[in-house]
Amino acid sequence: MEKATATSTSCPSTPRWNIDRPFLTGRFHQETKGTSRLADTKGFSMGLSSHGLERPIGYYNAAVQELIVIDDLLSAMVGIEGRYISIRRVRGKEDHISFQVDASMDLAIQELAKRMFPLCESYLLIDQFVESRSQFKNGLVNHAFAAALKALLLDYQAMVAQLEHQFRLGRLSIQGLWFYCQPMMGSMQALSIVIQKASANNFTGSSVLNLLQSQAKAMAGDNAVRSLLEKMTQCASNAYLSILERWVYEGVIDDPYGEFFIAENKSLQKESLTQDYDAKYWRQRYSLKEGIPSFLANIAGTILTTGKYLNVMRECGHNVQVPASENYKLTIFGSNHHYLECIKAAYDFASSELLNLIKEKYDLMGKLRSIKHYLLLDQGDFLVHFMDIARDELTKKFDEISVEKLQSLLDLALRTTAAAVDPCHEDLTCCVERSSLLKRLSTLKDLEVRTVSDGNDLAEPLNITGLETFSLSYKVEWPLSIVISRKALAKYQLIFRFLFRCKHVDRQLCGAWQVHQGVRALNMHGTAISRSSLICRSMLKFINSLLHYLTFEVLEPNWHVMHNRLQTAKSIDEVIQYHDLFLDKCLRECLLLLPELLKKVERLQSLCLQYAAATQWLISSSIGIPKLEEHSKSSRPSRMLTMTTENTSVTDSILKFEREFNAELQSLGPILSNSSQAEPYLTHLAQWILGVGHDQ
């Protein structure tokens, strides 16, 4: 889960006059008067009222005291001081409230009165919480909770009014008052505990809901209290579920107070998917925050994904049809878990809609097939033509190459080959990298590239040309850039550069082989040319074996696996996962994540290119040299000496290529054999390569 800090939300401030003028709120009834008649700490026996001298309650007989105390208790139950019952507050501690009685009161009546004080204290705490949490800054959940408490207090006040009516009719004793108030005691005290915890920790949003739920579970043995707390949880959660409903049905975060558990990072734009290799748009544009409600914890990821999918469709201009049925309303939750079914249905709807949109309207599979044709050389006829017409430009140093000229030549090759019928061929562009393939691989830290023991092996070649740095790219628009991102394209380009290098080596060796075939009619058996022909055949077999492995044993099988998986994918995240898995597996099996092997292969390719470049000289120098068995039959020693010298020079060059090629090939064999134990896919390549070595 991604951690994200909620941004500070701007909300209206509570007017000062709501605090400066307490008569507007009713708190003036609860304020302790500075000149209270009960201010004397010695039992109030000599207390003075602001209206004059008043006798202590002990002056009256028990029957009169009971009537006075009932009247005072009815006032205390709604937070108002009586004549002989006072409210004590601790300055700076709003939740520390206590009630005190005149010490001269009859002990029996005093004991009954004190039983009622917890209910009076709970009422004051709840009333104070309602007033403070109704301010804007406390958020929608606190507003809804405070409104539910206020409705409860209205019922409570109605009960007090009914008791007062009975008292006025002379039908209420203090024992009767205690009897009628007992059912409310547990509920009010449970609520006061909740609000004390909420106030002490300044809870908002999901923290309030979690607190209410945990307290409800803790009261499992008291059905009345548990039902009340569940009712409060339901009321408080309605505001939260309204935010959730807009997110899972519209993909909109309507969260003015930052209470929702999903955060939006507006600094991340969708354009970054095609520009930034490490683009974080899809993973971090919307992310989970801390403080997820406990009843949504197991499905939070599904909720996040549902809104993300809806957002993609909205940004594509696609009309998202929100289910209109009342059964889909997320306004309540309970033991039937109906809200979970609604969220699952919303996820299924958003997932299938987005998947159909990307597959059908934006033709994802068509784009992937087009990329396969060009970057994985599935249809390489355009590349052959391009390499022919762009040979002069590609042999220049990478910083001297004109990319515009290469692009025009690429367009020409595309228009004059079978690629012209592909409607996506215009999205293909060319580019020239600034570093070699090995160097580029070492800069991509997220790839699991094995470390090389000798760091110098990755040193940049001094003179790298366009043949080593040329690459193709592909224009991908939103929303396909979610799947074919800049990172995915970079992986395609790595594979293309390796294949392009192999194709170039193969073409050069084919040219050398044609030169050999041109002098075949001269009957050069036994000369240096026949030896050179064998080397050329071995090199061609090596590079053809490598190309066969890369295309028919890595790319094609993995492509078919990915294609079948994409047909059965249920969501766009599964599509991304299968596509990334395909690319990572191809990179690994194409040796691109094994620098030691890749370095050996590149060394063999360099030897092949050097040999192909020297072939013309070797052939021209060898023509006219007699067969090795005819040396002894020559009648002119001087002529014999000259030809032997020339033949020795050519033969030494050929033998040097042969030794170096065989040495590199033989050193590659054990590495492949050992690596194939940990990487089974190398077994086939090892068989091919070792087969080439045994032919020598």
155: tokens are: 């019922």
Question: Please, which residues have CB within 8 angstroms of residue 47's CB and are 6 or more apart in sequence?
Answer: 36, 37, 38, 39, 40, 54, 56, 102
CB 320 within 8 A of CB 250: yes
Instruction: For 172-206, write each residue's pLDDT tens digit.
Output: 999 999 999 988 888 899 999 998 898 888 898 88
Q: Among candidates 43, 51, 171, which has minimal Cα distance to 102?
A: 43
Q: Which residues of 105-120 are buried (b: 16+ CB within 10 A; e: fewer)?
A: bbeebbebbeebbebb
Residue 9: predicted pLDDT: 54
The separation between the first and the last C-alpha atoms of the chain, rounded to the nearest angstrom, is 58
Q: Are strands 52-53 and 470-474 parallel, antiparallel or unpaired?
A: unpaired
Phi, psi of 275 (to 5 degrees): -115, -35
Residue 82: predicted pLDDT: 86
CB 234 within 8 A of CB 332: yes
| Residues of each domain in the chain carrying CATH 1.20.120.1900 | 365-694
203: tokens are: 């809870």
Residue 53: predicted pLDDT: 45
106: tokens are: 């009859």
Residue 36: predicted pLDDT: 37
CA–CA gap between residue 6 and residue 263 (Å, rounded):
7
CB 73 within 8 A of CB 58: no
CB 74 within 8 A of CB 68: no
CB 319 within 8 A of CB 353: no
CATH topology of domain 365-694: Four Helix Bundle (Hemerythrin (Met), subunit A) (1.20.120)
**How many Cβ atoms are within 10 Å of 518's Cβ, its own excluded?**
10
CB 654 within 8 A of CB 618: yes
- pLDDT less than 50: residues of the chain: 1-8, 32-53, 453-456, 458, 624-645, 693-696
Phi, psi of 623 (to 5 degrees): -65, 135
**How many Cβ atoms are within 10 Å of 558's Cβ, its own excluded?**
19
Which alpha helices (H) appear in 77-138, and where do they start and end? Answer: 107-133
Phi, psi of 158 (to 5 degrees): -65, -40
CA–CA gap between residue 661 and residue 537 (Å, rounded):
12
Task: Establish how many alpha carbons lie within 13 A of residue 579's alpha carbon, considering only the half-sphere containing its beta carbon.
Answer: 27
CA–CA gap between residue 557 and residue 585 (Å, rounded):
11
CB 570 within 8 A of CB 351: yes
Which alpha helices (H) appear in 173-329, and where do they start and end? Answer: 174-201, 206-218, 223-250, 281-284, 300-315
Does the CA dihedral 423-427-432-434 come out positive or negative?
negative
> 0.85 cut: is pTM over it?
no
Cα angle value 684/687/692 (rounded, 5°): 130
SS3 472: strand
CB 71 within 8 A of CB 82: yes
Residue with tokens 């020339």: 646
Position 490, amino acid: A
Q: What is the DSSP string of 52-87?
A: EE---GGGS-HHHHHHHHHHHHHHHTTT---SSEEE
